[in-house]
Structure 1
Amino acid sequence: MASELGETIRQTRKRLKLTLRDLSERSGLTVSQLSKLENGKQRISVDLALKIAGVLQVPVTSFLAAPRPMPQARRSITRAGEGTRHETQGLVFEVLCSDFRDKSSLFWNVTVTGRSLDETGGWRSHSGEEFVQVLSGTLELHTRHYEPLVLNTGDSLLFDGEMEHGYVCLGAGPARLFMSNSMQRTMLYPLPDAQG
């Protein structure tokens, strides 16, 4: 895959009539680094992909997604308010676009009403990463490794799901979130169900 990705970078660069030195100067990466990437001798990180994609003016996913021999043409739609709902202590999860098989992420609208860790089910953890964006209200994120973090409307956060964490609602009304969980390995997250 690294060699195919390197070839994609090379072809995109050449299409824009850029030399390795041009790309180096514009991206801040060394010519040596770029040469290793193009020749499949170095794996690309998200940070490197973002820098290169910005210069080449292509979506960063061009460099991060594994190429498929036959492109898929799937889609999943959840109309507003029609996602499957799971209610747990102090939290309401609405599952979004859940009908894909073999997906790599879960997507949720989450409403947090609990005003303490006890009121939202306590600590939780899972493999992969968790992305949260506050759509409305104020959220306090608790983790075992950091001080509590207050997030307001429009704020977003990405963190390792294996780090124990919990949510608390601050303010007068509930906190409404958009959440995505990657499923890199078997999920250990206490997924919302009747048990809470």
Structure 2
Amino acid sequence: MRRPIVLAKIREIRKAKGLTLEQLSRSSGLSVSQLSKIENGKARLTFDTALVLSGLLKVPVTAFLSSPTSAPVARRSITRAGSGIVHNTAGMKFEVLCSDFREKRNVFWRVVIAGKTVEETGGWRSHPGEEFLFLLEGLLDIHTEHYEPVRLKPGDSILFDANMPHAYVSHGKRDAVVLMSNTVPADGELPTLAGQR
């Protein structure tokens, strides 16, 4: 349960910065009452509010949203360039990144997308969890069931519910290269690479 953590973190950081609730209220646009309720676990801390507070208090937003662990966590995983396990599918190449952790919340890939049509990239796919893409190279068209296709340029990113059928198409002469992350659902079911619905 997160509420006691919110209480400890926000109040502790606010006091360490020498701020009163009134001062934080004026800066954030949140009422003193609302801030007090959040600090006391009587109101839910939304992600948007956490972003506002983290900016004002100059701490990472994860300081408010992460749960404490019973023991210090000091895990890390490194994948050297080109050394990840590679899976080839129709029109796409997936390189698995930083896969050493036994208990995962996310799966990371470097994906090269060569297919120029939905069919060439294996068709529509869907799977549990969320999917995040950050375009590194080329141009990429993202097709989703409930939205018009959108074109990503290098530096663009997208996050969507991956159970919504989706497909990728490389646009232009160059292959599209993306950094992809998938959340791992509570049941531990990993997204399939084929993934067709």
Contact 1:124 1:189 in 2 (8 A): no
Contact 1:132 1:180 in 2 (8 A): yes
Q: Secondary structure at the match of 1:36?
A: helix
Question: Which residue does 2:130 correspond to in 1?
Answer: 129
1:185 deviates by 3.0
Question: Which residue does 1:5 correspond to in 2?
Answer: 6
Contact 2:128 2:163 in 1 (8 A): yes
Cα distance between partner residues in 1 of 2:33 and 2:191: 42
Seq. identity, %: 53
Distance 1:127 1:7, change over 3 A: same
Q: Secondary structure at the match of 2:147?
A: coil
Distance 1:49 1:152, change over 3 A: same
Please list the CA deviations of residues 89-125 of structure 1 after superposition, one character each: whole Å capped at 9, or x if unmatched.
0110000000101110001100000111111111111
1:188 deviates by 6.2
Cα distance between partner residues in 2 of 1:36 and 1:12: 16
1:47 deviates by 1.0
Distance 1:29 1:127, change over 3 A: farther
Alignment TM-score, normalising by the size of structure 2? 0.93
Q: How does 1:10-29 map to 2 (within 5 A)?
A: 10-29=11-30
State the AA in 2 paired with 1:156.
S
Q: Secondary structure at the match of 2:78?
A: coil
Question: Which residue does 1:190 correspond to in 2?
Answer: 192
Alignment TM-score, normalising by the size of structure 1? 0.94
For structure 2, which runs of at least 5 residues remain unmatched after alignment? none
Contact 2:122 2:194 in 1 (8 A): no
For structure 1, which runs of at least 5 residues remain unmatched after alignment? none
Q: Secondary structure at the match of 1:178?
A: strand
Cα distance between partner residues in 1 of 2:89 and 2:134: 20
Cα distance between partner residues in 1 of 2:161 and 2:23: 36
Q: CA RMSD in A?
A: 1.6
Aligned length: 194
1:30 deviates by 2.0
Please list the CA deviations of residues 146-183 of structure 1 after superposition, one character each: whole Å capped at 9, or x if unmatched.
00000011111111111111100001010000011111
Contact 1:127 1:185 in 2 (8 A): no
Q: How does 1:71-150 map to 2 (within 5 A)?
A: 71-150=72-151
